[in-house]
Amino acid sequence: MNMQHRISRAANPLVNLKPGDRVIVCEDVDTFRSCHQICAALQLKVTLIEARPDGYISLAKLQDTLYADRHGRVRAVFVSSAAAECAREVLDLAWHDATLIVDSAMNGAA
């Protein structure tokens, strides 16, 4: 494996996901539509955390889902850039090793 290949794998967390891996998708006001297409294309098992009635991410549901994953089977958490900082805190509080994947393209998109 050459150096360029190793760098691109580290910079792109999607490369480390395999078909059948479990991931969490957090919907919010930015409507994380592209994530569903990515997960389907990679054949990932998705746990969807629907947005609260006000349209934002439900941090309590994310935290409950991570705590319930006692065996660490969830490999990644998908969020929009608006929710990234809060989701990172929830992952840290839950002591979970899942990779946080942030859709920065959704920031400010209409």
- Predicted confidence at residue 36, as pLDDT, reads 76
Tell me the pLDDT of the chain (110 aa) as tens digits.
433 333 334 456 677 889 999 999 988 765 566 777 788 888 999 999 988 888 888 899 999 999 999 899 999 999 888 888 999 999 999 999 999 988 776 444 43
- Predicted confidence at residue 50, as pLDDT, reads 87
Q: Provide the domain limits for residue 30.
A: 18-106
CATH of the domain at 81: 3.40.640.10
The answer to whether residue 7 sits within a structural domain is: no
The answer to whether residue 84 sits within a structural domain is: yes
Taking the model in full, what pTM does it have?
Answer: 0.79
Indicate the number of domains in the chain.
1
- Secondary structure in 3-state letters for the chain: CCHHHHHHHHHCHHHHCCCCCEEEEECCCCCCHHHHHHHHHCCCEEEEECCCCCCCCCHHHHHHHHHHCCCCCEEEEEEEHHHHHHHHHHHHHCCCCCEEEEEHHHCCCC
Supply 57's token pair: 């991410």
